[in-house]
């Protein structure tokens, strides 16, 4: 009778684990991991090194607690363990040939965009794209050049967001979320004096 009880419990736990795994695959969106990947990409585009990691004090591990006397752990522990383990295993791929080509193109274009960011002609909007803010100060030839640069840059960015989603099995419906994460990273990586559109839609100069 005891063996039958163990078999039923194992069957229940197995079914619950599979269900949780499926839910995790379908629902979990690796925002933190994408943010790290975005920061790596944008620093590469700007040819900037990542900031050094902050040293953290060593903390002694907590004293181990006595093991439970129950032979079988509660089912909810398995249900919680599966999503947690899957989340920890996520590693965002930014090395596909398509992505590397797009990053290289952006890296080559960035020095041409930078003077227009510096002068306030361009700004970073909250959708992960470059936006023209003021063209009046430019000559007709410069206006055409700026518009071409912005069109090329935004096209590469949009392709990059789609390629990142495809390479990491992220639903194409989440591309807008990926773009928003890149927008936040661009606000952090921008230089002082550049125009940034905040999440609420307002424009501000970075200080």
CA angle, corner 149, sides to 146 and 154, nearest 5? 125
Identify the pLDDT of residue 55: 44
Mean pLDDT on 183-203: 96
Write down the pLDDT at residue 61: 45
- Rg (alpha carbons) of the chain, rounded to whole number: 24
Span between the terminal Cα atoms of the chain, in Å: 71
Tens digits of residue pLDDT in 156-180: 999 999 999 999 999 999 999 999 9
- Predicted confidence band of residue 109 (pLDDT cuts 50, 70, 90): very high
Q: Pick the closest to residue 9 from 77, 80, 65 (CA basis).
A: 77
Rounded Cα distance, 82 and 24, in Å: 8
Alpha-carbon span 64 to 18, nearest angstrom: 30
Q: What are 33-62's pLDDT values in tens digits? A: 999 999 999 999 999 865 554 444 444 444
Q: What is the mean pLDDT of the chain?
A: 80
- H/E element, 104: helix 97-118
**Both structure tokens of 63:** 């004293």
Per DSSP, the three-state class of 84 is helix
How many angstroms separate the Cα of 155 from the Cα of each of 2, 34, 150?
64, 20, 8
Identify which has the larger pLDDT, 119 or 57.
119
Q: Are strands 195-197 and 203-205 parallel, antiparallel or unpaired?
A: antiparallel
Kindly state the DSSP code that residue 172 receives in the 8-state scheme: G
**Using alpha carbons only, what angle is made at residue 36 by residues 33 and 40, rounded to the nearest 5 degrees?**
140
CA-CA-CA-CA torsion sign (42, 43, 44, 48): positive
Q: Where are the beta strands (DSSP E) in 75-199?
A: 122-124, 130-132, 195-197
* For residue 204, pLDDT beyond 50: yes
Answer whether 91's CB lies under 8 Å from 33's CB.
yes
**For position 27, what pLDDT does the model report?**
66
Find all residues with CB under 8 Å of 139, minimum gap 6, and list them: none
Q: Specify the pTM.
A: 0.72
Packing angle of the helix pair 31-45, 140-167 (nearest 10 deg): 140
User: pLDDT value at position 54?
Assistant: 47
């Amino acid at each position: 009778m005891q063996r039958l009880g163990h078999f039923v419990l194992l069957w229940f736990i197995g079914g619950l684990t599979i269900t949780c795994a499926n839910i995790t695959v379908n629902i979990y969106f690796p925002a933190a991991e994408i943010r790290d990947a975005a920061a790596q990409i944008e620093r590469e585009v700007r040819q900037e090194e990542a900031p050094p990691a902050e040293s953290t004090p060593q903390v002694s591990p907590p004293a181990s607690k006595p093991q439970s006397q129950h032979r079988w752990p509660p089912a909810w522990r398995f249900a919680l363990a599966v999503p947690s383990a899957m989340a920890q295993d996520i590693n965002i791929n930014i090395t596909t040939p398509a992505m590397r080509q797009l990053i290289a193109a952006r890296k080559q274009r960035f020095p041409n965009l930078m003077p227009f960011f510096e002068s306030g002609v361009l700004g970073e909007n909250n959708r992960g794209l470059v936006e023209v803010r003021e063209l009046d100060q430019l000559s007709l030839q410069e206006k055409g050049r700026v518009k071409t640069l912005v069109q090329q840059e935004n096209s590469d960015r949009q392709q990059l967001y789609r390629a990142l989603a495809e390479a990491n099995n992220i639903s194409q419906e989440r591309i807008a979320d990926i773009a928003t994460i890149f927008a936040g990273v661009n606000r952090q990586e921008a230089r002082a004096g550049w125009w940034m559109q905040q999440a609420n839609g307002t424009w501000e100069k970075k200080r």
